[in-house]
Amino acid sequence: MSGVRVMVVDDHPMWREGVARDLAEAGHQVVASCGEGRQAIRVVAAARPDVVVLDLQLPDISGVEVIRGLRAAWPQVRVLMLSASGEQQGVLDAVKAGATGYLLKSAALAEFLAAVRRTAAGEPVFTPGLAGLVLGEYRRLAAVDEEAPTSADGAAPRLTERETEVLRLVAKGMSYKQIAARLGLAHRTVQNHVQNTLGKLQLHNRVELTRYAIERGLDD
């Protein structure tokens, strides 16, 4: 596989250099590196990366704002989040805003390089922790929906039984390969199920944002 065009966004120079060196040694191309979110949004269209490796905690703007800005400026970009603090709500918000991968900063080098390749190929990169967060979010949305049912178009997204099953196994630390073996599915099918869980959440988030904007607009 040819090298992936990567942009590194992290406010720690030492970390940026280390990651850039690792990526270069693995045959990837580091097309840009920035220490701030606003700067990243400004340069992303010119740098044209396949993957942005993004630290969730930047000094200027929130991770969610960076992801929205990046996707607005360069829609085909894929975002792999790295976080040192394991800040759960932040990770979940970033995923809902469109990030498709998440790793702890302490992940091993091989794991990190594999995550970059998989993100570039459009595969979701889940940690068990992220699967737990996504499961919890679906249950929270379902509970909110039961309390105050919304109209059909804005109804909370639901997981199918199979998707729930797969997500639970990911959250319990099983690899896609192990899950495929356990459930008697193809590797690709497991991957699709995981991808769908993210897709529905992101779509719901966009619908909610639009509705919020319309409501605000009508009120003004």
- Alpha-carbon gap, residue 129 to 11, rounded angstroms: 24
The dihedral over CA atoms of 139, 202, 121, 189, expressed in degrees to the nearest 10, equals 40
Is residue 57 within 8 A of residue 87, CB to CB? The reply is: yes
For residue 31, what are the contacts with CB-CB under 8 A and spacing of at least 6? 5, 6, 7, 47, 48, 49
| Binding test (CB under 8 A) with another protein, winner from 42, 68, 168, 211 | 168
For the bound state, the minimum distance from the C-beta of residue 11 to another protein, rounded and expressed in Å, comes to 8
Which tokens is 196 given?
């769908």
Q: What 3-state class would DSSP assign to 70?
A: helix
Round to whole Å and give the CA distance between 101 and 15.
19
Q: Which residue has the tokens 């990770």?
A: 91
Q: Is 12 in the site for another protein (CB under 8 A)?
A: yes
Report angle CA 117, 49, 171 to the nearest 5 degrees.
Answer: 40
Question: Which 189-218 positions form the footprint of another protein (CB under 8 A)?
Answer: none
Cβ-based nearer residue to another protein, 117 or 168 = 168
4, 20, 70, 133: which one binds another protein (CB under 8 A): 133
Report the amino acid identity of residue 33: S
Q: Is 160 in the site for another protein (CB under 8 A)?
A: no
149 touches another protein by CB under 8 A: no
Complex with another protein: residue 47 or 174, whichever CB lies closer: 174
91 scored as a contact of another protein (CB under 8 A): yes
Q: At what angle do helices 88-97 and 187-219 cross, to 10 degrees?
A: 90
Q: Which stretch binds another protein (CB under 8 A): 35-43, 122-130, 189-197, 212-220?
A: 122-130
Q: What stretches of the chain adopt beta strand conformation (E)?
A: 5-9, 29-34, 51-55, 78-83, 101-104
Binding of residue 173 to another protein (CB under 8 A): yes
- Of 9-17, 25-33, 36-44, 155-163, the window that binds another protein (rule: CB under 8 A) is 9-17
Q: How many residues bind another protein (CB under 8 A)?
A: 39
Task: Tell whether residue 124 is a contact of another protein (CB under 8 A).
Answer: no
User: Which is nearest to 200 in space by CA: 175, 150, 163?
Assistant: 163
In the set 47, 97, 131, 190, which binds another protein (CB under 8 A)?
131
Cβ proximity to another protein, 60 vs 215, nearer residue:
60
Q: Does 15 help bind another protein (rule: CB under 8 A)?
A: yes
Binding residues for another protein, rule: CB under 8 A, are 12, 14-15, 18, 57, 84-89, 91-92, 104-110, 112, 127-133, 135-137, 139-140, 143, 168, 171-174
